[in-house]
Chain A
Amino acid sequence: MHPYVAKIKKKMPAAAQFPPSGDKRYKILETAMKRHQHKPDALIEVLHTAQELFGYLENDLLLYVAHCLKLPPSRVFGVATFYHFFNLKPKGKHTCVICMGTACYVKGADKLLASIEQVAGIKAGETTADGEVSLLTARCIGACGIAPAVVFDNAVTARVLPATAVERVKGWMQHGS
């Protein structure tokens, strides 16, 4: 048997008992799956719920979902990695999402990104070493009328200048709150 398969096989029963008792989030996830009658076609919806609850999708969580929906882990992992929206790594305490849609791009989103990358010392898609700030880019958040737009911790901000964005990120990095 291939060592990887062996590892997965060994992990499967563990994954079935994976939810540590007392963690309410698993209960909520279970309710969500029940609402979809554990149908395999609800996989994406379930992963959305899981990510909302846990912040990101770690391997054990994916195995647990696979087990509950009676899907091969490869299928769950394949879907989770295919879609940009799912994170397999934990995000920082704060997130800064820069919209890189065409309208934002022609209005200087690339310069915005470069200035933040420089200040934070990370590239797009990365998180600072202290886990404070995640810098992400979006394809287009549909806020083209107010370009360039940046989403600071889930709040869409209109017409962002590099200086304001840098200040905001610096603030997060210094105070850590």
Chain B
Amino acid sequence: MVLNDLLEIKERERKARKGTVLRCCVAAGCLSANSQAVKDGLDKAVKEKGLEGQVEVRGVGCMGLCCQGPLVQEDPAETLYVKVNPEDAPAIVDALGKNPAPGLPTTDPHAPFFKKQMPVVLENCGRIDPERIESYIAEDGYLALHDVILEMTPKEVVENVVKSGLRGRGGAGYPTGLKWATVAKTVGERKFVICNADEGDPGAFMDRSVLESDPHRVLEGMAVAAYAVGASQGYIYVRAEYPLAISRLQAAIRQAKQYGLLGGGIFESPFNFNVEIRIGAGAFVCGEETALMSSVEGKRGSPRPRPPFPAESGLWGNPTLINNVETYANVPVIIRKGAEWFSAIGTEKSKGTKVFALAGKIRNTGLIEVPMGVPLREIVEEMGGGVPDGSEVKAVQTGGPSGGCIPAAALDIPVDYESLAKVGSIMGSGGMIVMDEDTNMVDVARFFMEFCMDESCGKCVPCRTGTVQMHQLLDKIIQKRGAAEDLERLEELCDVVKNTSLCGLGQTAPNPVLSTLRFFRHEYLELLKQRETGAQPPA
């Protein structure tokens, strides 16, 4: 494979493009609503009408509006059919090029939900066929890898990423360029690159969608990273709960190897890079980098103290670079369009865009990508369409069990790393769950505490026993058996667990409690008061 081969594939793919494309979502959300049958139906209808020469039915990744699936979009007419049934297929094919098929529900592709997005990571999602590498190459795929290997030194690549201002999308927001630079300058016989796709936060499905919709982008990002830091072996650690993402990744790796875009001598250069998939087995703590590495080594996913950081001593004691799926997915476009282009998006300290999984009590649930710094209100009210059934937003939960609940009063904050931290939450990996007035915030705190209690690996005492005690206290308060001193003890425990736990899981486990105590203390106090007066809970 040389540059000309790549361009030839692109040219061939573009020439073979038919006049009309019917894009049918075959990512997990729509698949569960029977979208495979819809796609088969469309295929059949096109064949029956003898339109194979003009119309392509393409299975694509996530189009974003998961709550309305299965989605089918006609290109170039832009008609977006929602909740499509397999029986509707002939009607859709009949109406091609004309007005939308009568009687079928459609949605406006220019609605705020779509219009206000800025696809960078998701630029190919819902457009290309994730199961064909050619489809990715047609959109300039693997061009960045070519330029990096043949025209840039590893040092230049790292400098580029530093200049772009990209920060880790896994939650903590550590500057990616800095991480790469550390691994690059650490001396080691072997180095490793790991992609953290153990998306354990409940309520988050960004990484899943990226892997299912555009797997090659992640592979390309990893290969660029490997070149920059001097690694030749990569691992993708995926959750076992994402079988479709795993099979698409496996197919992607196979295709990339066939084309010589992974493996030995990539682009006829001396650079080698192999990727292996490691499947998780349902342990939230494995999202923590040291625990993840231990799991890749085939052991229990127990974290260990840092330093030494993985950049110095990681997988089997070798320098290791660990980044999140979305972080790698940002890399090819940074190389292709330049660090300046990327750093022009977003705010001063948070560059680029962020993908969010919008869910909970909100009209439009699904996947969105917005520039950093967009006001939270815009996401929830304009893009999300607000809370259905006439209720009001009470809080927005971000960051999963490590994050917090942002009250409705603070909805005007811009969404970036610093602003979210200021209101006691975190950016997290991108789960955004809207809660309405019916949601009991103490119950939410207990829900997350139960999660952390179950998922604590048991290695360090504060996390192992602290989470159990905090859960019991929350339980007691919710059952209206709590007293004022229970609340005091709860706050004290929060402090201890936060400051003395070994890894991120324990250190952040008290966050949902702390943030609900900060903004919704009255709900706790109300429950305490009900105990004193012996009042019955409202049904």
**What is A's interface to B at a CB cutoff of 8 Å?**
39-45, 47-48, 75, 78-79, 82-86, 100-103, 105-107, 138-147, 149, 155-158
- Asked if B366 is at the interface of the complex by the 8 Å CB criterion, the answer is yes
Instruction: Look across to chain B and name the residue whose beta carbon is closest to the beta carbon of A46.
Output: B298
Q: Contact at B32–A101, with CB atoms within 8 Å? A: no
B200, B296, B431: which has the most chain A beta carbons within 10 Å? B431
Q: How many Å from the CB of B448 to the closest CB on chain A?
A: 8
A to B CB contacts below 8 Å, 12 in the list: A44-B280, A45-B278, A79-B299, A102-B400, A102-B431, A143-B205, A144-B205, A145-B358, A145-B365, A145-B367, A146-B66, A157-B32
Q: How many Å from the CB of A74 to the closest CB on chain B?
A: 11
**Which of B107-115, B177-185, B260-268, B281-289 lies at the interface with chain A?**
B281-289
Known contacts A44-B298, A146-B66; 9 additional CB pairs below 8 A are A41-B298, A45-B298, A79-B299, A82-B283, A83-B281, A144-B66, A145-B69, A146-B69, A158-B29
Instruction: Give A161 to B367 CA distance when docked, in angstroms.
Output: 23
Chain A contacts for B67, CB-based, 8 A: 145-146
Chain A contacts for B281, CB-based, 8 A: 44, 47-48, 83-86
Instruction: Give A102 to B205 CA distance when docked, in angstroms.
Output: 12
Known pairs A41-B296, A84-B283, A146-B29; A140 contacts B204 (CB<8 A): yes
- Asked if B342 is at the interface of the complex by the 8 Å CB criterion, the answer is no
Q: Contact at A144–B203, with CB atoms within 8 Å? A: yes
Q: How many Å from the CB of B405 to the closest CB on chain A?
A: 11
Known pairs A84-B283, A145-B365, A145-B367; A102 contacts B447 (CB<8 A): yes
Q: Contact at A101–B300, with CB atoms within 8 Å? A: no
- Asked if B297 is at the interface of the complex by the 8 Å CB criterion, the answer is yes
Q: How many Å from the CB of B207 to the closest CB on chain A?
A: 8
**C-beta contact mask, B171-213 vs A, less than 8 Å → 1, else 0?**
0000000000000000000000000000111111100100000
Known pairs A142-B204, A142-B242; A105 contacts B300 (CB<8 A): no
From residue 7 to 62 of chain B, which have CB atoms closer than 8 A to chain A? Answer: 28-29, 31-33
Instruction: Give A42 to B279 CA distance when docked, in angstroms.
Output: 10
Instruction: Look across to chain B and name the residue whose beta carbon is closest to the beta carbon of A51.
Output: B281
Chain B contacts for A45, CB-based, 8 A: 278-279, 298
- Asked if B507 is at the interface of the complex by the 8 Å CB criterion, the answer is no
**C-beta contact mask, B351-366 vs A, less than 8 Å → 1, else 0?**
0000001111100011
Total contacting residues, chain B, CB less than 8 A: 53
Chain B contacts for A78, CB-based, 8 A: 300
Instruction: Give A79 to B296 CA distance when docked, in angstroms.
Output: 12
Instruction: Look across to chain B and name the residue whose beta carbon is closest to the beta carbon of A106.
Output: B360
**What is B's interface to A at a CB cutoff of 8 Å?**
28-29, 31-33, 66-67, 69, 199-205, 208, 240-242, 278-284, 295-301, 357-361, 365-367, 397, 400, 431, 433, 435, 439, 444, 447-448, 451, 455, 457
Q: Per a CB cutoff under 8 Å, which of A39, A100, A145, A156 touches B202? A: A100
Q: How many Å from the CB of B425 to the closest CB on chain A?
A: 13
Q: Contact at B199–A142, with CB atoms within 8 Å? A: yes
Q: Per a CB cutoff under 8 Å, which of A39, A42, A44, A147 touches B359? A: A147
Instruction: Give A48 to B32 CA distance when docked, in angstroms.
Output: 24
Q: How many Å from the CB of B398 to the closest CB on chain A?
A: 11
Q: Per a CB cutoff under 8 Å, which of B69, B280, B295, B359 touches A144? A: B359
Q: Contact at A103–B279, with CB atoms within 8 Å? A: no
Known pairs A145-B367, A157-B32; A102 contacts B240 (CB<8 A): no
Chain B contacts for A157, CB-based, 8 A: 32
Chain A contacts for B66, CB-based, 8 A: 144-146
Q: Contact at B283–A79, with CB atoms within 8 Å? A: no
A41, A43, A155: which has the most chain B beta carbons within 10 Å? A41
Q: How many Å from the CB of B52 to the closest CB on chain A?
A: 31
Chain B contacts for A138, CB-based, 8 A: 241
Instruction: Give A97 to B300 CA distance when docked, in angstroms.
Output: 24
Q: Contact at A139–B282, with CB atoms within 8 Å? A: yes
Instruction: Give A39 to B358 CA distance when docked, in angstroms.
Output: 41
Q: Contact at B284–A143, with CB atoms within 8 Å? A: no
Instruction: Look across to chain A and name the residue whose beta carbon is closest to the beta carbon of B450.
Output: A100
Q: Contact at B28–A102, with CB atoms within 8 Å? A: no
Q: Contact at A43–B32, with CB atoms within 8 Å? A: no
